[in-house]
Amino acid sequence: MSLGRPWAIGNWASSAASVPRREGFGEVHILQQAWLFGRTQGAQWESYFRHLSEPRRVAWARLLCGAILVLSLIAQQAQAKPWYEGELRGIYGPQNLPMLASEGFNLVYRNRWYNSGDYLADFKNISLEAKENGVTLIAGLYYLGAAVDFNYSHVVTWFGGTEAHAASPLDPTYWKNVIEEPAVALAGLSLSYPIAGLAFDFELYLAEQFRNGPEGDFRSYSYDALSLKSLASEKGLTIPDLPPNQTYRWLENARLLDRFQEWQRGKVARMAKDTAEAVYRLNPDFSLGILGFGDCWFHWTILKAWNSQRVPMTIWDEASYNRHNPGTTTERLAAIKERGLNARYLPGLYTTRQSPSQIVRNMSEALSYCNAFWVYQYDHGHYDLGTELEYHRAYRRFMTLKGIWGFMIGLLVAILLLAGIALGAVALRKRMKLGEGGAARARGTTPPCPGEPNLESCRTCRYMQTFGETHLCSRLGVEVKSAGTPKDDSKARGG
């Protein structure tokens, strides 16, 4: 970005506003940048006004700087940004969306179970309600929220227990019915209805012993017969039919455990990649994501396969349900960056575990670390640590104070820019006091007029202007020549 151009203010305002804030000190950084920018910019526009006399030059420079500043700030405010830029203030499952929208929430998550009635018709109505209230909708679908009406391979844990509902991560039937087909259907629906994306709720609600875990956690893989047969078929291995409680030990003794786990991760990645390609073919601006995110291989594998450089994914975490943990947020953001994912991370705040005053403090802290949060509105239709009205008052007070603070920051930015430009103009005037050959001439004072202009007596006069080899007095409107030139040669050129 060239700071020596008038339109650079708009570019600077955009880039300075996009600087990620750290621990609440982002505004200070923007103010510092505004001050430095103004001082630099005011002194660098000299070449645009060389053809004007100095008083007019400075006046026009200040006027143009102020006009561009005001217009650029207005343009920044008026410019429509994509939903995923700026602050994300999410709410989960609201029952009173108009009130929440008026309190500053701009992202809503509403979930359904894929076979609970006509879920597509529900999302049509929900999306229209969200649009009417100026809120972005992220649709939600459960991964393991209820029993299904088709056959699939169930998880077999490392010690041989068979889950009643949890599906094997590799089962293609379960993935197709619960993940891929609903995702493609919603991506198609988003072409006609305002649905920004879909985040699957991957919390294992119906699981018994099975839990997700990192790559090295052997307990987070399924040792079901279907997985073993698929491994043997694809890799040309001979694996005997084993009872569930002997599968893990056999793989370990055969030194196939690490290979089996790596193969299982690759299989999940291929299924997830196929789903993403089908979704993005329909709507490349459709965002995929995960709610109930955990630091486990299953979620990271899916997110890597769903990654899109066109639109960010959304990652809705529940690790901050009790209170926002800066350490967890920092670790999550670092892991997202390390994996090269284009994603917005949203720490979750739970009203059942946080009072109204606590939740607004955590909202503010989450915004300072990752510019996003989401609030679980309440659990089972009631609040535990305060009334519904108290929470709404806290939200409204927080958003109001935040708006006032934002206005004050904007005002300070404008003041510092103007002050910096004024100082730059002063520096410009001082620099212009240097005459030809580096000799200083005081432009702030006008020497007594000799009556008969000549180069020797008028050299320090601010009204003398030079054009090539011609010198003119702008006050008398006459040509200025050397002292030895006859008087008849200095004729009036104007009034």
- In this prediction, residues 286-313 reach a mean pLDDT of 97
> Closest Cα to residue 252, out of 213, 223, 225?
223
Most confident of 70-84, 356-370, 399-413: 356-370
Query: How far is residue 111's CA from residue 142's CA, in Å, rounded to a whole number?
Result: 7
Number of H helices, E strands in the chain: 15, 13
Do 88 and 106 touch, CB atoms closer than 8 A? yes
CB atoms within 10 A of CB 306: 24
- Sign for the CA dihedral angle at 152, 155, 160, 164 comes to negative
In the chain, what are the domains? 8-80+409-431 (no CATH), 88-386 (3.20.20.80), 441-489 (no CATH)
3-state secondary structure of 109: strand
User: Minimal CA–CA distance to 326: which of 364, 289, 292?
Assistant: 364
pLDDT at 68 over 50: yes
Predicted local confidence at residue 64, as pLDDT: 64
pLDDT digits (tens, 9 = 90+) for 70-109: 656 655 554 568 999 999 999 997 778 999 999 999 999 9
For residue 436, pLDDT over 50 is answered with: no
Residue 277: what pLDDT? Answer: 98
Q: Does residue 365 or residue 407 have the better pLDDT?
A: 365
Mean pLDDT of 404-421: 66
Strands 107-112 and 287-293: unpaired
Give 143-178 pLDDT, tens digit per residue: 998 889 899 999 999 999 999 999 999 999 999 999
Question: Which DSSP state fits 246?
Answer: G
* Residue 95 parent element (H or E): none
Determine the average pLDDT of the residues in 436-453: 53
What is the Cα–Cα distance from 236 to 256, expressed in whole angstroms? Answer: 13
Distance CA 196, CA 283 (A): 10
Considering 6-15, 83-92, 406-415, the range whose residues carry the highest mean pLDDT is 83-92
DSSP-derived secondary structure letter, 145: S
Which of 265, 349, 344, 258 lies closest to 305, judged by CA? 265
The mean pLDDT value for 347-370 works out to 92
- Tokens standing for 253? 């003794």
Range 37-63 average pLDDT: 55
For residues 311-316, give the mean pLDDT: 98
pLDDT band at residue 434 under the 50/70/90 scheme: very low
Map residue 330 onto helix, strand or coil.
helix
Q: What are φ and ψ of residue 277, in 5° steps?
A: -65, -40
Cβ neighbours around 151 below 10 Å, total: 9
Asked if residue 1 has pLDDT above 50, the reply is no
Quote the mean pLDDT of the chain: 81
| pLDDT for the residue 231 | 94
Q: CB under 8 Å to 50, separation ≥6 — which residues?
A: 57
Q: Which of 50-64, 147-161, 260-274, 293-307 has the lowest mean pLDDT?
A: 50-64
- Contact between 483 and 455 (Cβ < 8 Å): yes
Q: What is the C-alpha to C-alpha distance for residues 308 and 342, in angstroms, rounded to an integer?
A: 7
pTM here?
Answer: 0.70
- CA dist 182 and 464 (Å) reads 79
pLDDT higher at 398 or 378: 398
Q: What is the pLDDT of residue 435?
A: 45
Q: Quick check: helix, strand or coil at residue 86? A: coil
| pLDDT on residue 444 | 44
Asked if residue 375 has pLDDT above 90, the reply is yes
> By the 8 A CB rule, do 21 and 87 touch?
no
Tens of pLDDT, residues 192-216? 999 999 999 999 999 999 999 999 8
Q: pLDDT at position 106, please?
A: 94
Q: How far is CA 414 from CA 8, 24, 401, 418, in A?
A: 15, 20, 20, 6
Say yes or no to pLDDT of 5 above 50: no
pLDDT tens, position by position, 108-125: 999 998 877 789 999 999
Break the chain down into helix, strand, coil percent, rounded to 5: 50, 15, 35
476 has a pLDDT exceeding 70:
yes
Average pLDDT score over residue span 226-245 = 93
Distance from C-alpha of 155 to C-alpha of 206, rounded to nearest angstrom: 12
Asked whether the predicted pLDDT for residue 21 surpasses 50, the reply is no
Of the chain, the percentage scoring pLDDT greater than 70 comes to: 70
Task: Count CA atoms within 13 Å of residue 132 on its CB side.
Answer: 9
156 three-class SS: strand
Helix (H) or strand (E) holding 201: strand 197-201
Q: CA dihedral defined by 446, 448, 449, 451, rounded to 10 degrees?
A: 180
State the average pLDDT over residues 37-42: 53
